[in-house]
């Protein structure tokens, strides 16, 4: 079984098309998307003319066996992550940007100040809203955990980066609880 993983597309239709073509040439059995189909950040990306969130989402839906939600996808769907150590208030998306920034205290990512709208339709947003934050799949007697980031920040919504082996202990415990021997 040959698995291909794609992630962090960020509306870049050109690079997604190239990646899918390479995957076809490698004769992969299955393609998995680990999130962030959405999220064009003006200060960080330079492909403004070729960005196309709707076309990226269409290609992902047509080509991937399953898709996991990333932090940018959840933001577009205005969905609060379920797996998180940050205590989101229930009315998080009813608050204005400045109120959320004050509550976030740079613990979670905020997007409106540097991201362009993905211009999805209602069905696209609903699809993103329904995506799981993680899944465990069985491949050749091996349970594999798929997520956008690591536990407890499975969607990558918190402003946390991990550099030390001890930072991965919680993730390993989560894998054990899920009976997973591998994680992506």
Spans of all domains in the chain: 3-133
Ramachandran angles phi, psi of 144, nearest 5° = -120, 130
DSSP string, 121-177: -HHHHHHHHT--SEEEEEETTEEEEEESS-TT-TTS-BS----SGGGGHHHHHHHHH
The answer to whether the beta carbons of residues 66 and 138 sit under 8 Å apart is no
Task: Report the sign of the C-alpha dihedral through residues 136, 140, 142, 148, in that order.
Answer: negative
Which of 109, 84, 79 has the alpha carbon at shortest distance from 97?
109
157: its two tokens: 């919504």
Give the model's pLDDT for residue 131. 98
3-class secondary structure, 51: strand
Give the model's pLDDT for residue 134. 98
Give the model's pLDDT for residue 83. 86
Give the model's pLDDT for residue 2. 93
Tens place of pLDDT per residue across the chain (184 aa): 899 999 999 999 999 999 999 999 999 999 999 999 999 998 889 999 999 999 999 999 999 999 999 999 999 999 999 988 899 999 999 999 999 999 999 999 999 889 999 999 999 999 999 999 999 999 989 999 999 999 999 999 999 998 999 989 999 999 999 999 999 9
Q: Can you give the pTM of this predicted structure?
A: 0.94
144 vs 175: CA distance, rounded Å = 9
């Amino acid at each position: 079984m040959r698995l291909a993983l794609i992630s962090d597309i960020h509306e870049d239709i050109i690079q997604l098309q190239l990646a899918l073509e390479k995957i076809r040439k490698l004769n992969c059995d299955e393609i998995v998307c680990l999130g962030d189909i959405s999220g064009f950040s003006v200060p960080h990306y330079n492909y403004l003319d070729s960005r196309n969130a709707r076309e990226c989402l269409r290609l992902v839906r047509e080509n991937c066996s399953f898709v996991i939600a990333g932090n940018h996808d959840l933001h577009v769907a205005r969905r609060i992550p379920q797996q998180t150590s940050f205590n989101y208030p229930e009315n998080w998306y009813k608050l204005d940007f400045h109120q959320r920034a004050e509550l976030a205290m740079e613990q979670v990512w905020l997007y409106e100040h540097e991201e362009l709208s993905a211009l999805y339709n209602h069905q696209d947003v609903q699809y993103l809203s329904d995506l799981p934050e993680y899944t465990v799949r069985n491949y050749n007697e091996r349970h594999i955990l798929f997520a956008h980031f690591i536990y407890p920040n499975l969607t990558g919504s918190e402003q946390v980066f991990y550099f030390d082996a001890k930072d991965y202990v919680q993730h390993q415990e989560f894998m054990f609880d899920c009976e997973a021997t591998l994680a992506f």
